[in-house]
Chain A
Amino acid sequence: MGKNESFFGFERDDGSAGVRNRVGIISLMDNSNGLALKIHNNVRETDLVTDLFGRKMIGRNHEMRMKAIHGMAMNPNICAVVLVSLHKPSTDAFAGPIADAGKDVECIAFQEYGSTFRTIEAGTVAAAKLVRKHSTQQRVELPLSKLIFGSECGGSDFSSGLSGNPALGHAADMLMDAGGTVVLSETAEIMGAEHLLAERSVNQSVAAAIVQSIADMEEMSRMGGVEDIRKTNPSADNINGGLTTLAEKALGAVKKAGTKTLQGVVDYCDPVVPNPPGFYFMSTPAPACESMTGFAAGGCQIIGFNTGLGQPSSHPFTPTIKVSGNPLTAERGFDDLDVDVSDIMRGQMSIEEGGEKIFKELMSVANGRRTFTELFDTGQSTIGVAGASF
């Protein structure tokens, strides 16, 4: 395989491939978050997902949560899972499907110990044994068709649509040309450009699905008391900043996922199955952590995150490449910044050159280069709650 057609990754039993080989510690309830955090801090080479709520959720939110947690446990970057919770019924509910899928999983339930610190000890020992066991796995050469890249933006300003997003989109196109898959998200952000995505769809069914995603979101916002979510965009801030129409705002966002044919639309936290590889849309809430949690649960191994103003988040399970095209942000010392494409705004770099720089980083991260946010361990997973945020 050629230089830009393969990467060195960790093979998983289900045929997927990770760019990292980490033990995932997942807290299943808010009441066990503190325990899971201490277990994570006790053992190196673990990644932590905690969340809010967890008990007594019902209906759609309960189902979304089940999907999100299972999806994150199955993320290819995670070689083994430690589930931390209040009681066995909850750990067992998730452990069964994870084990059936061929992944090592340990259950740590507080009520088995009746003691905070014995729980933490048990989790620490379990996590350490898993890290040690899997630390002998080597990277092997694998095709780029196994890579799924989530394209994200947040903390946007007028530089986002002009430099960072188009550059990220060019990198996305380069990855897809080499056989990889790219996922766009944030349903509210594409409102105004859905007709264009429909035109770019591979068939009528996908075109209908993208239009339906927007319609569903508008319906949910009406139920939440926002009569016409379209009328609120662009906002007064956006207009002051120069954005004139909803389509202009949405197009600036859509730009970050390249120019390819839309192959499919998936629901929040559903697996992205690259069959065929290419461009996919996942319906997610717009806030970055909720969107990135969708990517992680859907199987993305890497996220590219463009921010104009600066934004500190990342997903704990998915190395997140922070990009900015705003010279002021770079100059102010945005320490998360992995790829600076602000020279586009200085007229010293073309959008294509910016895209090549991002793609080069993407390949490097796939092969093991660390991103700043993964080193800082400041990631945050947030499972969206239906009807709460758009």
Chain B
Amino acid sequence: MAEKDFGGNLDALMVDKKDNVAVCLHDVGNGTKAEVRLGKDNISLTSKGDIPRGHKIAMRDIIKGEKIIKYGEVIGQATLDISKGQHVHVHNVTD
């Protein structure tokens, strides 16, 4: 697990308020109370599983077939139900 190399107290960044995912600034271990920045506000959530640096964490529950929103746009759709705080990537998302 890489050291917290930047972000300091911040664990993840959301780009757009319509997004349902955020991007982790460093490796986030299972069960971390993660601080997510959106604009000038912080949102907290607890991670469910390990999420590597640069990877996405679900900001809310996403059901199978639901669209994944990042940058305020659809980037793909869920192939499985995803819980808030879980890793969102190729194993549960398709184009």
Contact = CB atoms under 8 A, between A and B. Distances in A.
Real binding pair? yes
Interface of A: 157-158, 161-163, 166, 193, 196, 239, 241-242, 244-248, 251-252, 255, 327-328, 342, 344-347, 350-352
Interface of B: 5-10, 13, 15, 23-25, 35, 37, 39-40, 42, 52-56, 68, 70-71, 73-76, 88-90, 93-95
Closest 8 CB pairs of A and B: A242-B54, A347-B10, A158-B54, A242-B55, A248-B75, A327-B6, A245-B76, A347-B37
Nearest to B87: A242
A354 B71 CA distance: 16
16 contacts: A193-B73, A196-B73, A242-B54, A242-B55, A244-B75, A245-B75, A247-B75, A248-B76, A251-B70, A251-B73, A255-B15, A327-B5, A345-B25, A347-B9, A350-B39, A351-B39
A82 B68 CA distance: 54
B10 A346 contact: yes
Contacts of B35: 347
Contacts of B52: 242
Contacts of B95: 245-247
A362 B71 CA distance: 24
B17 to A, nearest CB: 12
Contact of A345 (B6, B40, B71): B6
Given A247-B76, A251-B70, A328 B10 contact: no
- Which of the listed residues B10, B13, B40 has the most CB atoms from chain A within 10 Å of its own CB? B13
A251 B71 contact: yes
B19 to A, nearest CB: 11
Nearest to B73: A251
A162 B39 contact: no
B13 A162 contact: yes
A163 B88 CA distance: 20
Contacts of B37: 347
B1 to A, nearest CB: 15
- Which of the listed residues A239, A242, A244, A245 has the most CB atoms from chain B within 10 Å of its own CB? A244
B6 A166 contact: no
Contacts of B88: 244
Contact of A352 (B5, B39, B93): B39
B36 to A, nearest CB: 9
B15 A345 contact: no
Contacts of B93: 244-245
A347 B9 CA distance: 8
Given A162-B23, A351-B15, A244 B89 contact: yes
B7 to A, nearest CB: 6
Nearest to B74: A247
- Which of the listed residues B39, B53, B68, B71 has the most CB atoms from chain A within 10 Å of its own CB? B71
Contacts of B70: 248, 251
B7 A162 contact: no
A244 B76 contact: yes
A195 to B, nearest CB: 10
A347 B7 contact: yes
A196 B93 CA distance: 20
B75 A251 contact: yes
Nearest to A251: B71
Contacts of B15: 161-162, 166, 255, 351
B74 to A, nearest CB: 7
Nearest to A238: B54
A346 B76 contact: no
Contact of B54 (A196, A241, A246): A241
A327 B8 CA distance: 11
A31 to B, nearest CB: 46
B46 to A, nearest CB: 19
Contacts of A247: 73-76, 95
